[in-house]
Structure 1
Amino acid sequence: MKIIVADDTGFCFGVQRALQMIDSKVANHEKIYTLGDVVHNKSVIRSLEQKGIKILQEDIPQDAADSVLVIRAHGIPRKQLQEMKRIFKDVVDTTCPIVMKLFMTAEQMHKQGYKIIVFGKKNHPEMIALMGYVQDVIVTTEPIPLHIKSCVLSQTTMSTYEFYKFLEKSIDISNFKELRVINTICDVTAKRESQTQEVARKSDLVIVLGGKNSSNTSKLAKIASQITKTVHIEEPSEVDEIDLSAIKTIGIVTGTSTPQEDVKTLTEKILNRREKE
Protein backbone atom coordinates (compact mmCIF):
# COMPACT_ATOMS: atom_id res chain seq x y z
CA MET A 1 0.00 0.00 0.00
CA LYS A 2 1.11 3.53 -0.80
CA ILE A 3 0.44 6.45 1.52
CA ILE A 4 0.48 10.03 0.23
CA VAL A 5 0.61 12.72 2.90
CA ALA A 6 -0.14 16.29 1.83
CA ASP A 7 2.85 18.64 1.90
CA ASP A 8 1.21 20.84 4.53
CA THR A 9 -0.26 19.08 7.56
CA GLY A 10 -0.41 19.81 11.26
CA PHE A 11 -0.93 23.18 12.94
CA CYS A 12 -1.05 26.44 11.04
CA PHE A 13 0.76 29.51 12.38
CA GLY A 14 -2.32 30.84 14.18
CA VAL A 15 -2.97 27.62 16.10
CA GLN A 16 0.71 27.11 16.93
CA ARG A 17 0.89 30.69 18.19
CA ALA A 18 -2.20 30.23 20.37
CA LEU A 19 -0.87 27.08 21.99
CA GLN A 20 2.54 28.64 22.63
CA MET A 21 0.84 31.57 24.36
CA ILE A 22 -1.07 29.14 26.57
CA ASP A 23 2.05 27.10 27.36
CA SER A 24 3.82 30.23 28.58
CA LYS A 25 1.09 30.66 31.19
CA VAL A 26 1.19 26.97 32.12
CA ALA A 27 4.93 27.31 32.70
CA ASN A 28 4.20 30.07 35.23
CA HIS A 29 1.80 27.74 37.09
CA GLU A 30 -1.14 30.03 36.45
CA LYS A 31 -4.72 28.92 37.00
CA ILE A 32 -6.10 28.94 33.46
CA TYR A 33 -9.53 28.90 31.87
CA THR A 34 -10.37 29.04 28.17
CA LEU A 35 -13.51 30.71 26.86
CA GLY A 36 -14.90 27.82 24.83
CA ASP A 37 -12.67 25.55 22.77
CA VAL A 38 -9.43 27.32 21.82
CA VAL A 39 -9.42 25.38 18.54
CA HIS A 40 -11.73 22.79 16.99
CA ASN A 41 -9.81 19.60 17.68
CA LYS A 42 -10.55 16.89 20.26
CA SER A 43 -6.98 15.79 20.89
CA VAL A 44 -5.80 19.37 21.37
CA ILE A 45 -8.57 20.10 23.85
CA ARG A 46 -7.85 16.87 25.70
CA SER A 47 -4.15 17.81 25.89
CA LEU A 48 -5.04 21.20 27.39
CA GLU A 49 -7.33 19.60 29.96
CA GLN A 50 -4.53 17.24 30.95
CA LYS A 51 -2.46 20.32 31.76
CA GLY A 52 -5.15 21.42 34.19
CA ILE A 53 -6.78 23.98 31.91
CA LYS A 54 -10.55 24.26 32.30
CA ILE A 55 -13.00 25.18 29.55
CA LEU A 56 -15.70 27.74 30.25
CA GLN A 57 -18.88 27.85 28.23
CA GLU A 58 -20.92 30.57 29.95
CA ASP A 59 -20.55 30.72 33.74
CA ILE A 60 -17.83 32.91 35.23
CA PRO A 61 -15.82 31.00 37.88
CA GLN A 62 -15.69 32.28 41.44
CA ASP A 63 -11.90 32.47 41.32
CA ALA A 64 -11.84 34.60 38.14
CA ALA A 65 -10.02 37.46 39.85
CA ASP A 66 -7.11 35.11 40.53
CA SER A 67 -7.14 33.34 37.16
CA VAL A 68 -6.05 33.70 33.57
CA LEU A 69 -8.60 33.58 30.76
CA VAL A 70 -7.57 32.49 27.27
CA ILE A 71 -9.53 33.86 24.31
CA ARG A 72 -9.89 31.34 21.49
CA ALA A 73 -8.13 31.70 18.14
CA HIS A 74 -11.48 32.53 16.49
CA GLY A 75 -11.78 35.71 18.55
CA ILE A 76 -14.72 37.13 20.52
CA PRO A 77 -16.76 40.36 20.24
CA ARG A 78 -14.83 43.45 21.38
CA LYS A 79 -17.24 44.34 24.23
CA GLN A 80 -17.04 40.80 25.57
CA LEU A 81 -13.23 40.98 25.50
CA GLN A 82 -13.31 44.24 27.47
CA GLU A 83 -15.68 42.69 30.01
CA MET A 84 -13.43 39.65 30.46
CA LYS A 85 -10.44 41.92 31.08
CA ARG A 86 -12.41 43.59 33.85
CA ILE A 87 -13.31 40.27 35.52
CA PHE A 88 -10.14 38.14 35.22
CA LYS A 89 -6.68 38.76 36.62
CA ASP A 90 -5.22 38.41 33.13
CA VAL A 91 -6.61 37.78 29.64
CA VAL A 92 -4.54 36.10 26.93
CA ASP A 93 -6.02 36.93 23.55
CA THR A 94 -4.95 34.22 21.07
CA THR A 95 -7.14 35.54 18.25
CA CYS A 96 -5.40 34.58 15.01
CA PRO A 97 -3.83 37.67 13.36
CA ILE A 98 -5.49 36.71 10.06
CA VAL A 99 -8.88 36.59 11.76
CA MET A 100 -8.22 39.92 13.46
CA LYS A 101 -7.30 41.41 10.08
CA LEU A 102 -10.77 40.40 8.83
CA PHE A 103 -12.38 42.14 11.81
CA MET A 104 -10.37 45.31 11.26
CA THR A 105 -11.02 45.32 7.50
CA ALA A 106 -14.76 44.93 8.00
CA GLU A 107 -14.80 47.71 10.58
CA GLN A 108 -12.76 50.05 8.37
CA MET A 109 -14.94 49.46 5.30
CA HIS A 110 -18.08 49.97 7.39
CA LYS A 111 -16.78 53.35 8.60
CA GLN A 112 -16.30 54.30 4.94
CA GLY A 113 -19.98 53.76 4.32
CA TYR A 114 -19.97 50.27 2.79
CA LYS A 115 -22.60 47.67 3.60
CA ILE A 116 -20.59 44.67 4.79
CA ILE A 117 -21.52 41.25 3.40
CA VAL A 118 -19.46 38.28 4.57
CA PHE A 119 -19.49 34.87 2.95
CA GLY A 120 -19.55 32.67 6.01
CA LYS A 121 -21.48 30.57 8.50
CA LYS A 122 -23.51 32.77 10.82
CA ASN A 123 -23.11 30.51 13.88
CA HIS A 124 -19.36 29.99 13.49
CA PRO A 125 -17.36 31.51 16.41
CA GLU A 126 -15.38 33.71 14.02
CA MET A 127 -18.55 35.22 12.60
CA ILE A 128 -20.10 35.69 16.04
CA ALA A 129 -16.97 37.61 17.01
CA LEU A 130 -17.13 39.68 13.80
CA MET A 131 -20.68 40.76 14.62
CA GLY A 132 -19.24 42.42 17.70
CA TYR A 133 -17.14 44.67 15.46
CA VAL A 134 -19.75 45.44 12.77
CA GLN A 135 -23.21 44.91 14.22
CA ASP A 136 -25.24 45.23 11.01
CA VAL A 137 -22.99 42.90 8.99
CA ILE A 138 -24.74 40.35 6.79
CA VAL A 139 -23.25 36.85 7.14
CA THR A 140 -24.53 34.29 4.64
CA THR A 141 -23.57 31.44 2.35
CA GLU A 142 -26.50 32.08 0.02
CA PRO A 143 -26.16 34.67 -2.80
CA ILE A 144 -28.06 37.89 -2.02
CA PRO A 145 -28.74 41.19 -3.83
CA LEU A 146 -25.91 43.56 -3.00
CA HIS A 147 -26.54 47.05 -1.66
CA ILE A 148 -25.81 50.22 -3.65
CA LYS A 149 -22.41 50.50 -1.93
CA SER A 150 -21.20 47.09 -0.79
CA CYS A 151 -18.04 45.41 0.44
CA VAL A 152 -17.88 41.61 0.22
CA LEU A 153 -15.50 39.70 2.50
CA SER A 154 -15.19 36.07 3.57
CA GLN A 155 -14.85 34.03 6.73
CA THR A 156 -11.17 33.07 6.79
CA THR A 157 -11.79 29.31 6.58
CA MET A 158 -14.19 29.20 3.65
CA SER A 159 -13.53 27.70 0.22
CA THR A 160 -11.97 30.11 -2.26
CA TYR A 161 -13.88 28.54 -5.15
CA GLU A 162 -17.20 28.79 -3.31
CA PHE A 163 -16.45 32.38 -2.26
CA TYR A 164 -16.07 33.51 -5.87
CA LYS A 165 -19.08 31.45 -6.94
CA PHE A 166 -21.12 33.20 -4.21
CA LEU A 167 -19.80 36.55 -5.39
CA GLU A 168 -20.60 35.86 -9.05
CA LYS A 169 -24.18 34.81 -8.28
CA SER A 170 -24.71 37.79 -5.97
CA ILE A 171 -23.51 40.21 -8.66
CA ASP A 172 -25.87 38.63 -11.19
CA ILE A 173 -28.91 39.49 -9.07
CA SER A 174 -27.73 42.94 -7.97
CA ASN A 175 -27.91 46.55 -9.09
CA PHE A 176 -25.12 48.31 -7.23
CA LYS A 177 -23.11 51.46 -7.88
CA GLU A 178 -19.94 50.63 -5.96
CA LEU A 179 -18.51 47.25 -4.97
CA ARG A 180 -15.37 46.36 -3.04
CA VAL A 181 -14.32 42.69 -2.93
CA ILE A 182 -11.61 41.72 -0.47
CA ASN A 183 -10.57 38.07 -0.30
CA THR A 184 -10.00 37.54 3.42
CA ILE A 185 -9.63 33.75 3.19
CA CYS A 186 -6.51 32.50 4.96
CA ASP A 187 -3.74 31.66 2.48
CA VAL A 188 -2.82 28.55 4.45
CA THR A 189 -6.32 27.09 4.20
CA ALA A 190 -6.51 28.02 0.52
CA LYS A 191 -3.20 26.23 -0.11
CA ARG A 192 -4.49 23.12 1.65
CA GLU A 193 -7.51 23.15 -0.66
CA SER A 194 -5.31 22.79 -3.74
CA GLN A 195 -3.12 20.17 -2.04
CA THR A 196 -6.23 18.17 -1.13
CA GLN A 197 -7.27 18.14 -4.78
CA GLU A 198 -3.81 16.93 -5.81
CA VAL A 199 -3.75 14.17 -3.20
CA ALA A 200 -7.31 13.08 -4.02
CA ARG A 201 -6.52 12.66 -7.72
CA LYS A 202 -3.73 10.22 -6.86
CA SER A 203 -5.60 8.25 -4.18
CA ASP A 204 -8.18 5.48 -3.98
CA LEU A 205 -9.14 6.82 -0.54
CA VAL A 206 -8.50 10.13 1.18
CA ILE A 207 -8.52 10.28 4.95
CA VAL A 208 -9.21 13.78 6.25
CA LEU A 209 -7.94 14.05 9.82
CA GLY A 210 -9.31 16.74 12.11
CA GLY A 211 -12.27 18.03 14.06
CA LYS A 212 -15.69 17.59 12.49
CA ASN A 213 -16.66 20.93 14.02
CA SER A 214 -13.72 22.54 12.22
CA SER A 215 -14.82 24.59 9.22
CA ASN A 216 -11.51 24.34 7.36
CA THR A 217 -11.25 20.57 7.95
CA SER A 218 -14.83 19.89 6.84
CA LYS A 219 -14.12 21.95 3.73
CA LEU A 220 -11.22 19.63 2.81
CA ALA A 221 -13.45 16.58 3.25
CA LYS A 222 -16.02 18.09 0.90
CA ILE A 223 -13.36 18.89 -1.72
CA ALA A 224 -11.80 15.43 -1.60
CA SER A 225 -15.18 13.66 -1.74
CA GLN A 226 -15.89 15.31 -5.08
CA ILE A 227 -12.85 13.52 -6.54
CA THR A 228 -12.49 10.16 -4.77
CA LYS A 229 -13.70 8.09 -1.84
CA THR A 230 -13.21 10.12 1.33
CA VAL A 231 -13.49 9.51 5.05
CA HIS A 232 -13.37 12.27 7.66
CA ILE A 233 -12.08 11.12 11.05
CA GLU A 234 -11.32 13.16 14.14
CA GLU A 235 -8.67 10.94 15.72
CA PRO A 236 -6.20 8.30 14.41
CA SER A 237 -7.91 5.47 16.33
CA GLU A 238 -10.95 5.79 14.06
CA VAL A 239 -8.98 4.34 11.15
CA ASP A 240 -9.48 0.90 12.71
CA GLU A 241 -13.12 1.09 11.60
CA ILE A 242 -12.27 1.74 7.93
CA ASP A 243 -12.10 -1.13 5.43
CA LEU A 244 -8.75 -0.78 3.64
CA SER A 245 -8.69 -4.22 2.02
CA ALA A 246 -9.16 -3.04 -1.56
CA ILE A 247 -7.26 0.24 -1.22
CA LYS A 248 -3.93 0.60 -2.98
CA THR A 249 -3.22 4.28 -2.37
CA ILE A 250 -4.32 6.29 0.67
CA GLY A 251 -4.08 10.06 0.83
CA ILE A 252 -3.90 11.93 4.14
CA VAL A 253 -4.77 15.59 4.59
CA THR A 254 -5.44 17.56 7.77
CA GLY A 255 -7.12 20.67 9.04
CA THR A 256 -5.05 23.50 10.47
CA SER A 257 -5.82 22.56 14.09
CA THR A 258 -4.70 18.92 13.74
CA PRO A 259 -1.48 18.02 15.61
CA GLN A 260 1.38 16.68 13.52
CA GLU A 261 1.68 13.85 16.04
CA ASP A 262 -1.78 12.65 14.97
CA VAL A 263 -0.61 12.42 11.36
CA LYS A 264 2.36 10.28 12.40
CA THR A 265 0.14 8.04 14.53
CA LEU A 266 -2.39 7.62 11.74
CA THR A 267 0.31 6.68 9.23
CA GLU A 268 1.83 4.14 11.62
CA LYS A 269 -1.56 2.56 12.35
CA ILE A 270 -2.26 2.12 8.64
CA LEU A 271 1.13 0.53 7.99
CA ASN A 272 0.79 -1.76 11.01
CA ARG A 273 -2.59 -2.94 9.84
CA ARG A 274 -1.34 -3.86 6.40
CA GLU A 275 1.61 -5.79 7.87
CA LYS A 276 -0.82 -7.92 9.91
CA GLU A 277 -3.15 -8.61 6.99
Structure 2
Amino acid sequence: MEVTIDKNSGYCFGVEFAIQMAEDELAHEETLYCLGDIVHNRMEVERLHQRGLRIIDREQLAELHDCKVLIRAHGEPPETYALALRNNLELIDASCPVVLKLQNRVKHAFDLSQRQDGQIVIYGQPGHAEVAGLTGQTGNRAIIVMTEADLDQIDFARPVTLFSQTTKSTAGFYKMKALMEARITAAGGALESFDANDSICRQVSNREPQLAKFAALHDVIIFVSGRKSSNGKALFSVVQQFNARSYFVENETELEDEWFAGAQTVGICGATSTPLWLMQQVQARIEAVGELV
Protein backbone atom coordinates (compact mmCIF):
# COMPACT_ATOMS: atom_id res chain seq x y z
CA MET A 1 0.00 0.00 0.00
CA GLU A 2 1.45 3.34 -1.09
CA VAL A 3 0.92 6.24 1.36
CA THR A 4 1.52 9.79 0.14
CA ILE A 5 1.35 13.13 1.95
CA ASP A 6 0.00 15.99 -0.17
CA LYS A 7 2.91 18.40 -0.72
CA ASN A 8 0.50 21.36 -0.84
CA SER A 9 -1.09 20.65 2.56
CA GLY A 10 0.01 21.96 5.92
CA TYR A 11 0.67 25.37 7.40
CA CYS A 12 -0.06 28.48 5.41
CA PHE A 13 2.42 31.37 5.69
CA GLY A 14 0.47 33.13 8.45
CA VAL A 15 0.27 30.12 10.76
CA GLU A 16 3.89 29.12 10.11
CA PHE A 17 4.96 32.69 10.95
CA ALA A 18 3.01 32.66 14.25
CA ILE A 19 4.39 29.27 15.30
CA GLN A 20 7.94 30.41 14.54
CA MET A 21 7.49 33.62 16.55
CA ALA A 22 6.21 31.59 19.52
CA GLU A 23 9.13 29.17 19.33
CA ASP A 24 11.63 32.02 19.03
CA GLU A 25 10.25 33.65 22.19
CA LEU A 26 10.10 30.35 24.10
CA ALA A 27 13.77 29.73 23.31
CA HIS A 28 14.60 32.33 25.99
CA GLU A 29 11.33 32.65 27.95
CA GLU A 30 9.95 30.05 30.36
CA THR A 31 6.37 31.20 29.76
CA LEU A 32 4.62 33.02 26.93
CA TYR A 33 0.92 33.84 26.97
CA CYS A 34 -1.17 33.50 23.82
CA LEU A 35 -4.62 35.01 23.39
CA GLY A 36 -6.67 32.06 22.16
CA ASP A 37 -5.39 28.86 20.55
CA ILE A 38 -2.34 29.75 18.49
CA VAL A 39 -3.67 27.41 15.81
CA HIS A 40 -6.86 25.39 15.53
CA ASN A 41 -5.07 22.12 16.06
CA ARG A 42 -5.17 20.47 19.48
CA MET A 43 -2.03 18.42 18.93
CA GLU A 44 0.10 21.44 18.04
CA VAL A 45 -1.33 23.45 20.96
CA GLU A 46 -0.35 20.61 23.32
CA ARG A 47 3.16 20.45 21.83
CA LEU A 48 3.71 24.16 22.40
CA HIS A 49 2.18 23.97 25.87
CA GLN A 50 5.00 21.62 26.80
CA ARG A 51 7.42 24.30 25.61
CA GLY A 52 5.80 26.96 27.86
CA LEU A 53 3.02 28.50 25.75
CA ARG A 54 -0.04 29.26 27.88
CA ILE A 55 -3.39 29.85 26.18
CA ILE A 56 -5.55 32.55 27.80
CA ASP A 57 -8.98 34.03 27.08
CA ARG A 58 -10.02 37.69 27.09
CA GLU A 59 -11.01 37.70 30.75
CA GLN A 60 -7.59 36.38 31.72
CA LEU A 61 -5.93 38.93 29.44
CA ALA A 62 -7.60 41.76 31.35
CA GLU A 63 -5.96 40.48 34.57
CA LEU A 64 -2.43 40.35 33.16
CA HIS A 65 0.12 43.12 33.65
CA ASP A 66 3.77 43.67 32.73
CA CYS A 67 4.29 40.53 30.63
CA LYS A 68 4.43 39.28 27.03
CA VAL A 69 1.37 38.15 25.09
CA LEU A 70 1.35 36.64 21.61
CA ILE A 71 -1.26 37.79 19.12
CA ARG A 72 -1.92 34.87 16.79
CA ALA A 73 -2.32 34.96 13.00
CA HIS A 74 -6.09 35.60 13.15
CA GLY A 75 -5.53 39.22 14.21
CA GLU A 76 -7.26 41.22 16.94
CA PRO A 77 -9.73 44.13 17.22
CA PRO A 78 -8.52 47.60 18.27
CA GLU A 79 -9.68 47.16 21.89
CA THR A 80 -7.07 44.42 22.45
CA TYR A 81 -4.26 46.86 21.64
CA ALA A 82 -5.84 49.52 23.87
CA LEU A 83 -5.96 47.04 26.76
CA ALA A 84 -2.31 46.13 26.20
CA LEU A 85 -1.33 49.78 26.57
CA ARG A 86 -3.30 50.14 29.80
CA ASN A 87 -1.85 46.97 31.33
CA ASN A 88 1.71 47.50 30.11
CA LEU A 89 1.64 44.30 28.07
CA GLU A 90 4.29 43.65 25.43
CA LEU A 91 2.48 42.25 22.41
CA ILE A 92 4.30 39.78 20.19
CA ASP A 93 2.16 40.48 17.14
CA ALA A 94 2.00 37.50 14.79
CA SER A 95 -1.10 38.73 12.93
CA CYS A 96 -1.06 37.42 9.37
CA PRO A 97 -0.19 40.21 6.87
CA VAL A 98 -3.15 39.13 4.72
CA VAL A 99 -5.51 39.56 7.68
CA LEU A 100 -3.99 42.93 8.64
CA LYS A 101 -4.48 44.20 5.08
CA LEU A 102 -8.11 43.04 5.17
CA GLN A 103 -8.67 44.77 8.51
CA ASN A 104 -7.47 48.03 6.93
CA ARG A 105 -9.80 47.53 3.96
CA VAL A 106 -12.77 46.89 6.25
CA LYS A 107 -11.96 49.98 8.34
CA HIS A 108 -11.70 52.16 5.22
CA ALA A 109 -14.96 50.74 3.80
CA PHE A 110 -16.73 51.28 7.12
CA ASP A 111 -15.63 54.92 7.32
CA LEU A 112 -16.91 55.45 3.78
CA SER A 113 -20.19 53.63 4.47
CA GLN A 114 -20.90 55.94 7.40
CA ARG A 115 -21.14 58.84 4.94
CA GLN A 116 -23.39 56.86 2.59
CA ASP A 117 -25.76 55.22 5.10
CA GLY A 118 -24.25 51.89 4.05
CA GLN A 119 -23.67 48.52 5.73
CA ILE A 120 -20.59 46.32 6.08
CA VAL A 121 -21.26 42.60 5.78
CA ILE A 122 -18.74 39.88 6.66
CA TYR A 123 -19.16 36.39 5.22
CA GLY A 124 -17.64 34.37 8.04
CA GLN A 125 -18.11 32.21 11.08
CA PRO A 126 -19.67 34.05 14.05
CA GLY A 127 -17.34 33.98 17.04
CA HIS A 128 -14.27 33.16 14.95
CA ALA A 129 -11.19 35.12 16.07
CA GLU A 130 -10.53 36.59 12.63
CA VAL A 131 -14.15 37.69 12.28
CA ALA A 132 -13.98 39.36 15.70
CA GLY A 133 -10.92 41.29 14.54
CA LEU A 134 -12.68 42.36 11.34
CA THR A 135 -15.92 43.47 13.00
CA GLY A 136 -13.82 45.34 15.55
CA GLN A 137 -12.77 47.67 12.73
CA THR A 138 -16.42 48.73 12.45
CA GLY A 139 -17.08 49.25 16.15
CA ASN A 140 -18.75 45.82 16.04
CA ARG A 141 -21.45 47.13 13.71
CA ALA A 142 -20.66 44.83 10.79
CA ILE A 143 -23.29 42.21 9.95
CA ILE A 144 -21.99 38.62 9.99
CA VAL A 145 -23.56 36.12 7.59
CA MET A 146 -23.03 32.40 7.12
CA THR A 147 -26.40 31.18 5.80
CA GLU A 148 -29.17 32.52 3.58
CA ALA A 149 -31.31 33.09 6.68
CA ASP A 150 -28.65 35.48 8.02
CA LEU A 151 -29.35 37.81 5.09
CA ASP A 152 -32.59 38.87 6.79
CA GLN A 153 -30.43 41.17 8.96
CA ILE A 154 -29.53 43.33 5.95
CA ASP A 155 -31.50 46.30 4.58
CA PHE A 156 -31.05 45.73 0.84
CA ALA A 157 -32.50 49.12 -0.01
CA ARG A 158 -29.28 50.65 1.38
CA PRO A 159 -25.70 50.30 0.06
CA VAL A 160 -23.92 47.08 1.05
CA THR A 161 -20.21 46.26 1.09
CA LEU A 162 -19.35 42.57 1.42
CA PHE A 163 -16.06 41.04 2.58
CA SER A 164 -15.11 37.46 3.43
CA GLN A 165 -13.20 35.84 6.25
CA THR A 166 -9.89 34.89 4.59
CA THR A 167 -10.25 31.15 5.19
CA LYS A 168 -13.78 30.61 3.87
CA SER A 169 -14.70 28.57 0.81
CA THR A 170 -14.53 30.45 -2.50
CA ALA A 171 -17.63 28.64 -3.73
CA GLY A 172 -19.47 29.57 -0.53
CA PHE A 173 -18.54 33.24 -0.93
CA TYR A 174 -19.77 33.46 -4.53
CA LYS A 175 -22.98 31.64 -3.63
CA MET A 176 -23.58 34.22 -0.88
CA LYS A 177 -22.78 37.04 -3.33
CA ALA A 178 -25.38 35.71 -5.79
CA LEU A 179 -28.01 35.39 -3.04
CA MET A 180 -27.38 38.98 -1.99
CA GLU A 181 -27.65 40.25 -5.57
CA ALA A 182 -31.00 38.47 -5.88
CA ARG A 183 -32.22 40.10 -2.66
CA ILE A 184 -31.14 43.55 -3.85
CA THR A 185 -33.03 43.11 -7.12
CA ALA A 186 -36.11 41.85 -5.28
CA ALA A 187 -36.00 44.84 -2.94
CA GLY A 188 -35.85 47.24 -5.90
CA GLY A 189 -32.33 48.31 -5.01
CA ALA A 190 -29.48 49.10 -7.39
CA LEU A 191 -26.73 46.53 -7.93
CA GLU A 192 -24.35 49.48 -8.36
CA SER A 193 -24.68 50.07 -4.60
CA PHE A 194 -23.41 46.53 -3.87
CA ASP A 195 -19.63 46.18 -3.52
CA ALA A 196 -18.57 42.52 -3.16
CA ASN A 197 -14.93 41.92 -2.24
CA ASP A 198 -13.45 38.43 -2.60
CA SER A 199 -11.03 38.72 0.32
CA ILE A 200 -10.30 35.00 0.63
CA CYS A 201 -6.58 34.27 0.99
CA ARG A 202 -5.23 32.82 -2.24
CA GLN A 203 -2.99 30.44 -0.30
CA VAL A 204 -6.27 28.98 0.94
CA SER A 205 -8.42 29.20 -2.19
CA ASN A 206 -5.68 27.75 -4.43
CA ARG A 207 -5.68 24.62 -2.29
CA GLU A 208 -9.22 23.73 -3.32
CA PRO A 209 -8.43 22.74 -6.95
CA GLN A 210 -5.14 21.17 -5.82
CA LEU A 211 -6.96 19.07 -3.21
CA ALA A 212 -9.60 18.03 -5.72
CA LYS A 213 -6.90 16.58 -7.99
CA PHE A 214 -5.09 14.93 -5.08
CA ALA A 215 -8.28 13.34 -3.73
CA ALA A 216 -9.14 11.84 -7.11
CA LEU A 217 -5.70 10.21 -7.42
CA HIS A 218 -6.04 7.91 -4.39
CA ASP A 219 -8.26 5.04 -3.27
CA VAL A 220 -8.56 6.45 0.27
CA ILE A 221 -8.06 9.97 1.61
CA ILE A 222 -7.21 10.76 5.24
CA PHE A 223 -7.79 14.43 6.03
CA VAL A 224 -5.94 15.57 9.16
CA SER A 225 -7.20 18.66 10.95
CA GLY A 226 -8.32 20.08 14.25
CA ARG A 227 -12.08 20.03 14.61
CA LYS A 228 -12.14 23.74 15.50
CA SER A 229 -10.61 24.68 12.15
CA SER A 230 -13.00 26.56 9.86
CA ASN A 231 -10.54 26.08 7.02
CA GLY A 232 -10.34 22.36 7.78
CA LYS A 233 -14.12 21.95 7.47
CA ALA A 234 -14.15 23.85 4.17
CA LEU A 235 -11.28 21.87 2.64
CA PHE A 236 -12.60 18.51 3.83
CA SER A 237 -15.89 19.22 2.04
CA VAL A 238 -13.87 19.64 -1.18
CA VAL A 239 -12.11 16.31 -0.63
CA GLN A 240 -15.42 14.51 -0.04
CA GLN A 241 -16.76 15.72 -3.37
CA PHE A 242 -13.97 13.94 -5.24
CA ASN A 243 -13.42 10.85 -3.10
CA ALA A 244 -16.21 9.02 -1.28
CA ARG A 245 -13.65 7.12 0.82
CA SER A 246 -12.47 10.23 2.67
CA TYR A 247 -12.07 10.34 6.45
CA PHE A 248 -11.50 13.24 8.86
CA VAL A 249 -9.14 12.63 11.82
CA GLU A 250 -7.38 14.77 14.41
CA ASN A 251 -4.50 12.32 14.83
CA GLU A 252 -3.35 8.77 14.14
CA THR A 253 -5.28 7.28 17.10
CA GLU A 254 -8.57 7.88 15.29
CA LEU A 255 -7.68 5.73 12.27
CA GLU A 256 -9.75 2.59 11.64
CA ASP A 257 -8.00 -0.38 9.99
CA GLU A 258 -11.07 -1.30 7.90
CA TRP A 259 -10.90 2.04 6.06
CA PHE A 260 -7.92 0.71 4.10
CA ALA A 261 -9.34 -2.65 3.02
CA GLY A 262 -8.40 -3.28 -0.61
CA ALA A 263 -6.71 0.10 -0.98
CA GLN A 264 -3.60 0.35 -3.14
CA THR A 265 -2.98 4.05 -2.59
CA VAL A 266 -3.75 6.32 0.38
CA GLY A 267 -3.45 10.10 0.30
CA ILE A 268 -2.93 12.22 3.42
CA CYS A 269 -3.79 15.90 3.37
CA GLY A 270 -4.80 18.60 5.81
CA ALA A 271 -5.81 22.15 6.62
CA THR A 272 -3.71 25.31 6.70
CA SER A 273 -3.49 24.70 10.47
CA THR A 274 -2.21 21.12 10.21
CA PRO A 275 1.50 20.58 11.02
CA LEU A 276 3.59 18.34 8.79
CA TRP A 277 4.82 16.30 11.77
CA LEU A 278 1.23 15.29 12.54
CA MET A 279 0.57 14.14 8.97
CA GLN A 280 3.82 12.16 9.15
CA GLN A 281 2.63 10.39 12.32
CA VAL A 282 -0.60 9.49 10.51
CA GLN A 283 1.45 8.21 7.56
CA ALA A 284 3.56 5.98 9.81
CA ARG A 285 0.44 4.49 11.42
CA ILE A 286 -1.17 3.73 8.03
CA GLU A 287 2.03 2.16 6.72
CA ALA A 288 2.02 -0.12 9.78
CA VAL A 289 -1.53 -1.17 8.89
CA GLY A 290 -0.42 -1.89 5.34
CA GLU A 291 2.28 -4.26 6.55
CA LEU A 292 -0.33 -6.31 8.40
CA VAL A 293 -2.84 -6.73 5.60
What's the TM-score once normalised by structure 2's chain length? 0.87
Aligned residue-pair number: 277
Of the three residues 139, 142, 148, the one matched with 1:137 is 142
CA distance change for structure 1 residues 74 and 179 in 2, over 3 Å: closer, same or farther? same
The one-letter amino acid of 1:35's match is L
Letter in 2 for 1:159: S
Aligned twin of 1:121: 125
Q: Which residue pairs with 2:212 in the alignment?
A: 197
Matches within 5 A, 1:43-192: 43-60=43-60, 64-113=64-113, 114-134=118-138, 135-143=140-148, 144=151, 146-174=156-184, 175-176=189-190, 177-192=192-207
Partner AA of 1:263 in structure 2:
M
Distance 1:147 1:31, change over 3 A: farther
Tell me, yes or no, if the aligned pair for 1:115 and 1:147 is still in contact at 8 Å: no
Structure 1 stretches (4+) deviating beyond 6 angstroms? Answer: none
Greater displacement, 70-79 / 143-152: 143-152
CA distance in 2 between partners of 1:173 and 1:41 (Å)? 38
Contact 2:10/2:269 (<8 A) preserved: no
Between the aligned partners of 1:19 and 1:95, the Cα distance in structure 2 is: 11
Distance change (3 Å), C-alpha of 1:200 and 1:63: same
Structure 1: which 5+ runs fail to align? none
Name whichever structure is richer in helix by fraction.
2
- Residue by residue over 1:18-57, the C-alpha shift from the partner in whole angstroms, topping out at 9 and shown as x without a partner, is 1121122212225311111111011210111101221112
Q: Secondary structure at the match of 2:242?
A: coil
Secondary structure at the residue paired with 1:39? coil
Do the aligned partners of 1:69 and 1:88 also contact (CA within 8 Å) in 2? Answer: no
Q: Which amino acid aligns with 2:45?
A: I
8 Å contact kept, 2:9–2:270: yes
When structure 1 is superposed on structure 2, of 26-35 and 60-69 the one drifting more is 60-69
- Give me the whole-angstrom Cα distance separating, in 2, the residues matched to 1:153 and 1:61: 29
**Preserved contact between residue 30 and residue 68 of structure 1 (Cα < 8 Å):** no
Q: Secondary structure at the match of 1:65?
A: coil
Question: Partner letter of residue 131 of structure 1?
Answer: T
Contact in 1 for aligned 2:66/2:87 (Cα 8 Å): no
**Unpaired segments ≥5 residues, structure 2:** none
> Percent identical across equivalent pairs?
28
TM-score normalised by length of structure 1: 0.92
Shift of 1:14: 0.3
Amino acid aligned to 2:251: E
